[in-house]
Amino acid sequence: MKIDINCDMGESYGRFRVGSDEAIMPYISSCNIACGMHGGDPATIIKTIETAIAHNKKIGAHPSYPDLMGFGRRSMGISRSDLYAAVAFQIASLYTLVEKAGGKLHHVKVHGALYNDAAINPALAGPILDAIKYIDSGLVIFTLPDSILSKTAKERGMKVMHEAFADRRYNDDLSLQSRTIQGAVISDPVIAVKQVMGMVKRKEVITVSGEVKKIQAATICVHGDTKGAVDIAKSIHNSLTQERITIG
Amino acid sequence: MKIDINCDMGESYGRFRVGSDEAIMPYISSCNIACGMHGGDPATIIKTIETAIAHNKKIGAHPSYPDLMGFGRRSMGISRSDLYAAVAFQIASLYTLVEKAGGKLHHVKVHGALYNDAAINPALAGPILDAIKYIDSGLVIFTLPDSILSKTAKERGMKVMHEAFADRRYNDDLSLQSRTIQGAVISDPVIAVKQVMGMVKRKEVITVSGEVKKIQAATICVHGDTKGAVDIAKSIHNSLTQERITIG
Amino acid sequence: MKIDINCDMGESYGRFRVGSDEAIMPYISSCNIACGMHGGDPATIIKTIETAIAHNKKIGAHPSYPDLMGFGRRSMGISRSDLYAAVAFQIASLYTLVEKAGGKLHHVKVHGALYNDAAINPALAGPILDAIKYIDSGLVIFTLPDSILSKTAKERGMKVMHEAFADRRYNDDLSLQSRTIQGAVISDPVIAVKQVMGMVKRKEVITVSGEVKKIQAATICVHGDTKGAVDIAKSIHNSLTQERITIG
Amino acid sequence: MKIDINCDMGESYGRFRVGSDEAIMPYISSCNIACGMHGGDPATIIKTIETAIAHNKKIGAHPSYPDLMGFGRRSMGISRSDLYAAVAFQIASLYTLVEKAGGKLHHVKVHGALYNDAAINPALAGPILDAIKYIDSGLVIFTLPDSILSKTAKERGMKVMHEAFADRRYNDDLSLQSRTIQGAVISDPVIAVKQVMGMVKRKEVITVSGEVKKIQAATICVHGDTKGAVDIAKSIHNSLTQERITIG
């Protein structure tokens, strides 16, 4: 059995620090590196790429709406052509830097509000996929199962890896419970490990109402900026390893 | 006889428009495209790259201090490591985008205050060259003759093309007359053509004091945002062509 | 008879110049000055305030979504509390600066996408009015007639001035024809003058379909960044003056 | 005996959080609130002002070079007129907001690299003081003893409060030991309390070489973003209170 564990990284901006990139890096198999538009200054981005390569992790670009103040977590009424250009530009920056550091860009996971919007809006999914294809049609797209982005990518013959979340509670329709609801973000490593184990071994998740739902995921996201993120990542890593489930 | 004519381009930022890129493109042989830190939004950058490739022009990256409000024209006390990263990041963005558009990045010309500072300060020239080498050691560096950046690049075995200016008056020591002095920027195409012809045919320039000085230049810069820029570029192009001097 | 003529100003950002503020200033009675979030650097803002006071014009704050790259012309999914704070902050900057320059802030006109969004969305109109009231409940709100912003402001006992446009074509429902449609922006001073005269003297406008519709406006907007903006402003000013209609 | 204790606050930017403002607020008497150019988004700034007023603390503006990525810690070659405008604009934003929240702006402490540069460079001190005077000539200037900013302010009849640091080591010439040197920033509350007690009771500080030097300070800065900042602030507060030294 095998599962990819991914984490958003490189989101610090100058002296504004977020996440615990170096502490979490050993416990994951893929990282999604910010591209400067919601976080990620050049020095942080380059250092994160080098750390990921040193740890032999898969590297993805993590492009977003151009909104530093909102950390890419606010929807924006950006035109299709501007969205296309913004995503292509962000991936391009990472693409060369990873190559020159001796690696190869593996995937793209769009960030924040753009991740959610592109899951349901074809007017966004289209330009995003155009941009990815423009840079490298072999890049894997990390996205929600059953999302518009996933369906459109598959129709175009592009590679997709479906994502589930270790540290977020699920509604009955498998959407994520809103962060504004108390308890929506899981900070207890024991509960996170239990959720991951269900997802990996039984392809199941227990929703907020207690229902058991089927869920398909090729990669599981752990967040680096939640409380106890390092403990969660470490616990998941150790539990999976003990069960002889390959991380990668 | 042969001379390269270069122009800074792609410096518009969203709805803030600068320059006359499309009008000037036919008359030059090289363009230096902004990388987003003093100007240049993604859509502008990608469009400028595509236009340059359609016109079969050489493309350079035009990285700067990270200062949009100051348009890269203010010196900044940036650390060596941050400067290195900022320059590498900016070149990287262009590098992939040019390649994916079917071209190949040809050169790097640093912008504004960084151009002037790197000409005289080894603490800046070093990290800039490190960054260029990191991306591609074959990239040509456009810089002032006798500059620290030129000397250091040559010592490292990197390629340099020395630059002169069509539309700026020269002091007796071949530094540029400050823009703050009336007449320092040439807006009359006849005078600009005369200066370029002297530079190309006799390797000479007439300084502000009327002295004739020797000057060596492999590329001549025309600015795109000065008054009458299109006329100047067109006049220079036509005059060189009439004299059977190859532009390229 | 009397009509206010307003124009957006101070939208330049560093070396990125927009508009023809000084040329248009003599022909208007109110200016709406950018507050730094879609345009307007500090030096531009302060200079524009001083010019307006020297010309004895009414000054308004022109706050927007925080989106420099998009010039405030893109909707953003900003929270109510962040919108409230962004608008209060932007008005506050202008408020003190105008006072210290010897004037008094007269009105608030929200900019771009926020102007349009607040006209139809109570979730935006509310926080905007809260912010205005927080700074000074005597500030006049420039907005579209029949807008949610207008209705909500009146319900709260706040002052409103309804706005019509000299240089934009109207649909039959008195919404503005989209800028993306050819001819939606009027660049011919003769046509603009005719539209303004109809609005002022007969309270009427001829829509895109040729219908004559009643329209109520206490202030008429001329744009500073459209083609022929200075000519339009001057022509309107001269025509109104000839007809002994007071501008102010 | 009486001493003012000040702390920089409101420097978070959107989801990028810095400092422990609410935890430190009870232990200080003055806060210096960021104005948006090195940190400080509108919601953070307004909330910090309201918290300070609720705690009955003196409020200062904390303007900086316009450099979010560098957190205002990099010198910039900004023109005198742009510096003047940047400082006036930043103070203006706070001035109105504090007034509308029911307080009154008490002082100005320039931030980071601008703080250090203005201490030694009259070309910067001049425009900064012009800007402060433009907003309110009664504002107190927090600055280093013997600085150019202090001297120039006094010559102009402006109010000055000299500042010393609780958590920074001093060189023999009473300049601060560079942050790049190990141990330059004090993180042990016991040592910080000892330094503050010497400064307040004996007007003395022990330098890095062990010398005892006279130091005059009307206000003592504790940093909010250093390790153990809350403990340091609390310990200083408690020790001063025990010794019946008034904080304020």
Query: What tens digit of pLDDT does each residue of C192-216 get?
Result: 999 999 999 999 999 999 999 999 9
Return the sign of the alpha-carbon dihedral for residues B144, B17, C77, C107: positive
* Angstrom distance (rounded) from CA D38 to CA D70: 7
Q: Work out how many CB contacts closer than 8 A connect C with D.
A: 71
Could you say which DSSP state residue C32 is in? E
* Angstrom distance (rounded) from CA A58 to CA A78: 30
Indicate whether C228 pLDDT > 90.
Answer: no
pLDDT attached to residue A225: 81
* Angstrom distance (rounded) from CA C245 to CA B36: 48
The parts of chain A modelled with pLDDT lower than 50 are none
Residue of D nearest to B74 (CA): D77
pLDDT attached to residue B125: 98
**CA angle at D168 for the pair D162 and D173, rounded to the nearest 5°:** 65
Indicate whether D4 pLDDT > 90.
Answer: yes
Neighbouring chains of B at 3+ CB pairs under 8 Å are A, C, D
Contact partners, residue B202, CB within 8 Å, separation at least 6? none
State the residue for tokens 């940093």: D223
Contact indicator for A83, A118 with CB cutoff of 8 Å: no
Task: Categorise residue C183: left if φ over 0, alpha if ψ from -120 to 50, beta otherwise.
Answer: left
Contact indicator for C30, C6 with CB cutoff of 8 Å: yes
Tell whether A74 is within 8 A of chain C (Cβ).
yes
* Angstrom distance (rounded) from CA A224 to CA D6: 33
In this complex, which of B66, B82, B113 lies closest to D77 when CB atoms are compared? B113
Could you say which DSSP state residue A210 is in? S
Q: What is the pTM of this model?
A: 0.96
Neighbouring chains of A at 3+ CB pairs under 8 Å are B, C, D
Indicate whether B113 pLDDT > 80.
Answer: yes
C-alpha pair distances (Å), D56 with each of D44, D101, D102, D231:
18, 12, 11, 21
Residue type, D236: I
What does the pLDDT look like over D166-184, one tens digit per residue? 999 999 999 889 888 999 9
What does the pLDDT look like over D142-153, one tens digit per residue? 999 999 999 999
* Angstrom distance (rounded) from CA C86 to CA C78: 10
Indicate whether D228 pLDDT > 90.
Answer: no
* Angstrom distance (rounded) from CA D206 to CA D217: 15
Contact indicator for A69, D41 with CB cutoff of 8 Å: yes
Helix, strand, coil abundance in chain C, percent, nearest 5: 40, 20, 40
* Angstrom distance (rounded) from CA C52 to CA C178: 31
Contact partners, residue D26, CB within 8 Å, separation at least 6? D55, D237
Tell whether A66 is within 8 A of chain C (Cβ).
yes
Nearest in space to B31 (alpha carbons), one of B113, B98, B82, B88:
B98
**Biggest CA-to-CA distance, chain A:** 48
* Angstrom distance (rounded) from CA D110 to CA D116: 9
C65 φ/ψ angles, rounded to the nearest 5 degrees:
-55, 150
Return the sign of the alpha-carbon dihedral for residues C94, C99, C103, C105: positive
Tell whether A16 is within 8 A of chain D (Cβ).
yes
Tell whether B93 is within 8 A of chain A (Cβ).
yes
Chain B positions touching A88 (Cβ under 8 A) are 42, 46, 97, 100
What does the pLDDT look like over A233-244, one tens digit per residue? 999 999 999 999
Q: Which residue in B71, B75, B76, B82 has the most chain D C-beta atoms within 10 A of its own C-beta, making it the best mutation to test that interface?
A: B76
Q: Which residues pair with D213 in a beta bridge?
A: D205
B31 φ/ψ angles, rounded to the nearest 5 degrees:
-125, 150
Q: Which residues pair with D56 in a beta bridge?
A: none
Chain C positions touching D91 (Cβ under 8 A) are 96
Least confident of B79-83, C175-179, C242-246, D110-114: C175-179
Tell whether C69 is within 8 A of chain A (Cβ).
yes
Output the six-digit token pair for C246. Answer: 């007071």
Secondary structure, 3-state, D170-210: ECCCCCECCCCCCCCECCCHHHHHHHHHHHHHCCEEECCCC
pLDDT attached to residue B226: 78
Tell me, rounded to whole angstroms, the distance of Cα B16 from its chain centroid: 21
In this complex, which of B69, B74, B82 lies closest to D77 when CB atoms are compared? B74
Chain A nearest C-alpha distance from C115 (Å): 14
Contact indicator for C76, C67 with CB cutoff of 8 Å: yes
pLDDT attached to residue D226: 78
Nearest in space to B45 (alpha carbons), one of B112, B92, B114:
B92
Chain D positions touching C45 (Cβ under 8 A) are 85, 89
pLDDT attached to residue D225: 81
Residues B191-197 have a mean pLDDT of 97
Residue type, B105: L
DSSP reduced 3-state for D62 = strand
DSSP reduced 3-state for A162 = strand
Indicate whether D227 pLDDT > 80.
Answer: no
pLDDT attached to residue B180: 84
Nearest in space to D60 (alpha carbons), one of D113, D105, D114:
D105
Residue C51's CB: how many other CB atoms inside 10 A? 18
Tell whether D179 is within 8 A of chain B (Cβ).
no
Chain D nearest C-alpha distance from A31 (Å): 20
* Angstrom distance (rounded) from CA D162 to CA D159: 10
* Contact flag C69-B39 (C-beta cutoff 8 Å): no
Output the six-digit token pair for D198. Answer: 């010497």
Chain D positions touching B82 (Cβ under 8 A) are 70
Chain B nearest C-alpha distance from C24 (Å): 19
Render C166-227 in DSSP notation, one character per residue: SSB-B-TTSPBPPTTSTTSB---HHHHHHHHHHHHHSSEEE-TTS-EEE---SEEE--SSST
DSSP reduced 3-state for A11 = coil
Q: How confident is the model at residue C227 (pLDDT cuts 50, 70, 90)?
A: confident
Return the sign of the alpha-carbon dihedral for residues D186, D188, D191, D193: positive
Residue of C nearest to A113 (CA): C77
In this complex, which of D16, D41, D73 lies closest to A13 when CB atoms are compared? D16
Tell whether D66 is within 8 A of chain B (Cβ).
yes
Nearest in space to A32 (alpha carbons), one of A2, A64, A54, A3:
A64
Residues D173-197 have a mean pLDDT of 93
What does the pLDDT look like over B163-189, one tens digit per residue? 999 999 999 999 889 888 999 999 999
Contact indicator for C169, C184 with CB cutoff of 8 Å: yes
Q: How confident is the model at residue C225 (pLDDT cuts 50, 70, 90)?
A: confident
Please classify residue B244 by burial: count the beta carbons closer than 10 Å to its beta carbon, then call 0-12 exposed, 13-18 middle and 19+ buried: exposed
Contact indicator for A11, A36 with CB cutoff of 8 Å: no
Nearest in space to A19 (alpha carbons), one of A248, A177, A158, A224:
A224
Render chain B in DSSP notation, one character per residue: -EEEEEEEE---BTTB--S-HHHHGGG-SEEEEE-SSSS--HHHHHHHHHHHHHTT-EEEEE---S-TTTTT-S-B---HHHHHHHHHHHHHHHHHHHHHTT--EEEE---HHHHHHHHH-HHHHHHHHHHHHHH-TTPEEEE-TT-HHHHHHHHTT--EEEEEESSB-B-TTSPBPPTTSTTSB---HHHHHHHHHHHHHSSEEE-TTS-EEE---SEEE--SSSTTHHHHHHHHHHHHHHTTPEE-
Task: Give helix A122-135 / helix A112-120 axis angle, nearest 10°.
Answer: 110
Residue of A nearest to C113 (CA): A77
What does the pLDDT look like over D199-208, one tens digit per residue? 999 999 999 9
Upper half-sphere CA count for residue A18 (Cβ side, 13 Å): 25
Output the six-digit token pair for C222. Answer: 């001329």
In this complex, which of A14, A41, A73 lies closest to D15 when CB atoms are compared? A73
* Contact flag D67-B76 (C-beta cutoff 8 Å): yes
Contact indicator for D8, D62 with CB cutoff of 8 Å: yes
pLDDT attached to residue D44: 98
* Contact flag C75-A74 (C-beta cutoff 8 Å): no
Contact partners, residue A48, CB within 8 Å, separation at least 6? A9, A10, A21, A31, A33, A40
Tell whether B18 is within 8 A of chain C (Cβ).
yes
Contact indicator for A98, A51 with CB cutoff of 8 Å: no
Residues D39-53 have a mean pLDDT of 98
Contact partners, residue A206, CB within 8 Å, separation at least 6? A170, A195, A198, A212, A213
Tell whether D134 is within 8 A of chain A (Cβ).
no
Indicate whether B8 pLDDT > 80.
Answer: yes
* Angstrom distance (rounded) from CA B103 to CA B90: 17
